[in-house]
Amino acid sequence: MGRVEGKVAFVTGAARGQGRSHAVRLAEEGADIIAVDICRDIESIKYSLSRPEDLEETARLVEKTGRRIVAEQGDVRDRAQLAAVLERGVAELGGHLDIVVAQAGIAGMKGEPPWQAWTDVIDTDLLGVINAVQASLPYLVDGASVIATGSTAALMDVSKVDQVGKDPGGVAYMVAKRLLSQYIHEFATHIAPRRIRANVVHPTNTNTNMLQSEPMYQSFRPDLEHPTRADAEPAFHVQQAIPVPWVEPADISNAVLFLASDESRFVTGTQLRVDAGGYLKWYDYHV
């Protein structure tokens, strides 16, 4: 018996990176998957997003585990698109939905035009999570588990004063992640009588295309005009207490799998950091 045997999981941003890793890990443990991803770029964002071939590869990897997958292109900013994918996916995979992993997201540092980047980041990282949850609600069974991807950026108390007006796309990321954390807190509270759980996983630097991108290198090495991966790697360590520049998607998937499974049946409303101790560097002990 797999740890999520017979469950159906809806995963956004599933074409590559963490989303693909979550979909495959859940399938390895017995879940069927409904996967969506935009599979094209968002103009204001200064690194490439996935391509249709990436989503096809996720489907191949899930099918290799022996589980089923309904994989479609869709934009989390558009709730009607998500609803249509879910309607088809749930009908094909047995009429129920047990797990939601709202993973799709973008980083908007130095996005252009700046206020378009603000809009695209808020719409994807905040409204995209809300859309994934709301579109799932008609299908969620009692006892289901909802998992949203936050970021350690939601937890760090960075000085606002230095940032006022400078990089709306970059700041929108922190704003969206904070607000989605509060949304999940409130949702978890009020859905609890149905034994539905909702939690946020907050990854630190994770080894995906989003991290390994020119805008991210620039934000960690603002002293260089065109920093490379080798330039950024030592600077990436600042985010963690355990001496690593980043964690791997599989490290986040293991947390997602735990929260998706019945092993965590009484765990809800948590803000679970998978941050190699980064938070510990920022804050004294408090409850």
Ligand X SMILES: NC(=O)c1ccc[n+]([C@@H]2O[C@H](COP(=O)([O-])OP(=O)(O)OC[C@H]3O[C@@H](n4cnc5c(N)ncnc54)[C@H](O)[C@@H]3O)[C@@H](O)[C@H]2O)c1
Which letter, b or e, does each residue of 125-160 get, where b requires 16 or more Cβ atoms within 10 Å of its Cβ?
bbbbbbbbbebbeebbeeebbbbbbbbbbbbeeeee
Nearer to ligand X, 15 or 188 (CB): 15
Nearer to ligand X, 32 or 54 (CB): 54
Q: Identify whether 47 is a catalytic site residue.
A: no
Nearest approach, Cβ of residue 118 and ligand X (Å): 15
Nearest approach, Cβ of residue 12 and ligand X (Å): 6
| Contacting ligand X within 77-116 (CB under 6 A) | 77, 103-106
Nearer to ligand X, 93 or 256 (CB): 256
**Token representation of residue 108:** 């908007």
| Contacting ligand X within 112-151 (CB under 6 A) | 124-125, 128, 149, 151
Say if CB 76 and CB 38 are below 8 A apart: yes
Nearest approach, Cβ of residue 159 and ligand X (Å): 20
Which of 139, 173, 217, 279 is labelled catalytic?
Answer: 173
Task: Please tell me the distance from the alpha carbon of residue 167 to that of residue 172, in angstroms, as a whole number.
Answer: 9
Q: In the stretch 185-214, what mask flags binding to ligand X with x, by CB under 6 A?
A: ------------------x-xx-xxxx---
Task: Please tell me the distance from the alpha carbon of residue 241 to that of residue 260, in angstroms, as a whole number.
Answer: 27
Nearest approach, Cβ of residue 209 and ligand X (Å): 4
Q: Which of the ranges 13-21, 62-70, 181-189, 256-264 carries the binding residues for ligand X, by CB under 6 A?
A: 13-21
**Can you name the residues that pair with 99 across neighbouring β-strands?**
9, 145
Q: Which of 17, 89, 9 has its CA nearest to residue 246?
A: 17
Task: Please tell me the distance from the alpha carbon of residue 273 to that of residue 287, in angstroms, as a whole number.
Answer: 15
3-state secondary structure of 60: helix
The DSSP code sequence of 146-210 is EEEE--GGGT----SGGGTTT-HHHHHHHHHHHHHHHHHHHHHHHHGGGT-EEEEEEE-SBSSTT
Task: Please tell me the distance from the alpha carbon of residue 256 to that of residue 115, in angstroms, as a whole number.
Answer: 32
Nearer to ligand X, 2 or 73 (CB): 73
273 near ligand X (CB under 6 A): no
Q: Which of 11, 27, 33, 38 binds ligand X (CB under 6 A)?
A: 38
**Token representation of residue 214:** 């020119």
Q: Which of the ranges 8-16, 24-32, 157-165, 227-235 carries the binding residues for ligand X, by CB under 6 A?
A: 8-16
Q: In the stretch 45-74, what mask flags binding to ligand X with x, by CB under 6 A?
A: ----xx------------------------
State the catalytic residues.
Answer: 173
Residues that bind ligand X (CB under 6 A): 12-13, 15-19, 37-38, 49-50, 75-77, 103-106, 124-125, 128, 149, 151, 203, 205-206, 208-211
